[in-house]
Amino acid sequence: MKSEHIPKATIARLATYIQVLSEFKREGTDVVSSERLAEACSVNSSQIRKDLAYFGEFGVRGVGYYVQDLITSIKRSLGIDRAWNCGLVGVGNLGRALLRHREFSRKGFILRGAFDCDPYKIGEIVEGMEIVCSRQLPAKVKELSLEIGIITTPPERAQRAANYLVGAGIKGIINFAPSRISVPSHIHLEYVDFFHHFYAAAFHIRFAEHQE
Amino acid sequence: MKSEHIPKATIARLATYIQVLSEFKREGTDVVSSERLAEACSVNSSQIRKDLAYFGEFGVRGVGYYVQDLITSIKRSLGIDRAWNCGLVGVGNLGRALLRHREFSRKGFILRGAFDCDPYKIGEIVEGMEIVCSRQLPAKVKELSLEIGIITTPPERAQRAANYLVGAGIKGIINFAPSRISVPSHIHLEYVDFFHHFYAAAFHIRFAEHQE
DNA sequence: CTGTGAATGTGAATTTTGTAACAAAACCCC
DNA sequence: GGGGTTTTGTTACAAAATTCACATTCACAG
C-alpha cells in the first residue's frame, strides 16, 4: 500500500501477472481470484496479494479481481501506462534483431533512435530508421525525448556507449553487452543476459543426473 | 561446500563472476581477491565467498583466487565445462536471430536442430541448418543427442512445442515465448523475458521522478 | 623456523523475502 | 435487511538470503 522499497522479484512477477491476465482476457474471463491467478503463474496466492498490496487495493473482497482493471492497474503501477522513448546504441546482429522486434512498440517501448560509430553503417536505414553517429546522441536524446538507452555494442565498447548516453541525459540503461559498466547512481541500470538461464538449466540437469 | 539447495540468485551471480573474471584474464591479471572481484561485480565480498563455498574451496587464504583456475572451477560447478546440444523450435524472427547468434557455441551451447511446423519453412536452410518438421522431434532428439529445447514459437503454440519436446525426451526447456507452459516436474523449465528489465527501468525512473 | 600480514571459509547475526492465518469487506440469498 | 459465504488486504510468523565478524590458513620475510 505504501511505497516502501519494492523487491526486484515483485517487479518480475508483476510482468508475469500481466502476461497471464492477458491470456485470461483473451479467453473471455472477466474475474479471477488470487488463487486461480496464482496457480496459472505457479506462485503462492498470498504472494500475489502481497505484491499487489505494495501498489494499492485492486480487488473486491468476496469476488476477486476484474481482469481488465487489474491489467490496467498493474501497468499504471509499473509506469507502463504510457510510451517510453528508447535509443539503441550498437547496430550489430543483436541490435538489428531488437530493432526488428515488433513486441517493443506493442509493450510501449518505442525505438526512436539507432546509433553506431561505424562509418559504414551510419546513414543506413534499418526498419525505417536511419543509423546515426553515436556522437550525435546529446542532440538526438533531446530532440526525440529519449529516456531509455539500449546498449547492444560489443563488450569492449559498452562503457563508451554508456558514457555517451549518460552525457546525453538519458535516465535509464539496459545493457545487452556481456560486460559490466559503471554509471552515476542516479541512472537506472539493468543487465540483460539470457545465458544465465542456460547455465541454470545446464546446472540443474546435471545435478538431477548426479542424484542417482 | 556441500550440495544443499543452491539459490537461483547464486547461479545468476556465478555467470557474472565468469564474465568479470574473463575480463580480468584478458587484462593479464592472474590473481584476484574476493574484495576486488566483488567491487567489479557490484556485490558484497562475503557474497562471493559464500556463493563459491556451495561448490568447494577454490581460493588460497592470504592470497586470493587464481583467475584462470577460478573460471575453470566455476564452469565445472555449473556444468558448462562441456558442450550441451540444443534444439530450437519455432523459426520466426526471434528464432532466426538466435540461430545466427555466435555466442551460443562460444558458451558451449550448440544449436544442432531447428524445427518448425510451417510447411513453407521446412527444408529451408538457416545458418547451415535445415529446418525440420516438428513432428520429427522424437527421432532427431535421439539422433542428435539433444538435451535442451529452446522454444521461440508464438505464444499460442508454445505449449504444443513443449509437449513435442517432452515427448521426445528432452531434459530442459528454455521458453522465449511470452506464455506460461506446463511440463512434468522432472523437466527443468526456464522463462526468458527481457521485457521485465524494461519494466523495472520504467518503474524506477518514474519512481525517482515522483520522489521530488 | 617462527612471526607477521593478508585474505579465505564459515558460523552467527541481520535483513529481506515469502507463507500462513485471520479479520474486514463485499456479495448473495432468503 | 441480516446471516452466510467468499475472497481480499494485512498482520504475524517462518524461511531464506545476505552481511558481518573472526578464527583459520597460507605465503613470505627475517
Residues of chain A positioned with their CB less than 8 A from the CB of B201: 148, 172-174, 188, 190
Do residues B180 and A19 lie in contact, with contact meaning Cβ atoms separated by under 8 Å? yes
Do residues B90 and B177 lie in contact, with contact meaning Cβ atoms separated by under 8 Å? yes
Mean pLDDT of A161-170: 96
Where in chain A is CATH 1.10.10.10? 8-76
Are the beta carbons of B94 and A97 separated by less than 8 Å? yes
Q: pLDDT value at position A3?
A: 56
Asked if pLDDT for residue B212 goes beyond 60, the answer is no
Which amino acid belongs to residue B118?
D
Which nucleotide is closest, CA of B61 to its C1'?
C8
- Which of A205, A207, A211 is the mutation pick for testing B, counting most B CBs within 10 A? A205
Condensed to tens digits (0 to 9), the pLDDT of residues B145-155 reads 999 999 999 99
Asked if pLDDT for residue A2 goes beyond 60, the answer is no
DSSP string, A53-111: HTT----BTTTBEEHHHHHHHHHHHHT-SS-EEEEEE--SHHHHHHHH-THHHHTTEEE
Q: H helices within B28-128, ranges in order?
A: 34-41, 45-53, 67-78, 93-100, 103-106
Asked if pLDDT for residue B211 goes beyond 80, the answer is no
Condensed to tens digits (0 to 9), the pLDDT of residues B153-192 reads 999 999 999 999 999 999 999 999 999 999 999 999 999 9
Rounded-to-integer distance, Cα B28 and Cα B66, Å: 12
Provide the pairing of β-strand A148-151 with A172-175.
parallel
Rounded-to-integer distance, Cα A64 and Cα A177, Å: 42
Residue A80 burial (CB count, 10 A): 22
pLDDT band at B210 (very low <50, low <70, confident <90, very high): confident
Query: How far in angstroms lies nucleotide C26's C1' from the CA of residue A33?
Result: 14
Rounded-to-integer distance, Cα A7 and Cα B45, Å: 22
pLDDT band at A135 (very low <50, low <70, confident <90, very high): very high
Closest partner residue to A78 (CB to CB) among B12, B41, B202 is B202
- Element housing B132 (H / E): strand B129-133
Where in chain A is CATH 3.40.50.720? 84-195
DSSP state of B153: S
Condensed to tens digits (0 to 9), the pLDDT of residues B124-151 reads 999 999 999 999 999 999 999 999 999 9
Q: What are the grid coordinates assigned to A162, written together?
A: 554508456
CATH fold of B84-195: Rossmann fold (3.40.50)
pLDDT band at B208 (very low <50, low <70, confident <90, very high): confident
Condensed to tens digits (0 to 9), the pLDDT of residues B24-77 reads 999 999 999 999 999 999 999 999 999 999 999 998 999 999 999 999 999 999
Mean pLDDT of B9-32: 95
Asked if pLDDT for residue A4 goes beyond 90, the answer is no
Distance spanning both ends of chain A, measured CA to CA: 47
May I ask the CATH class of domain B8-76?
mainly alpha
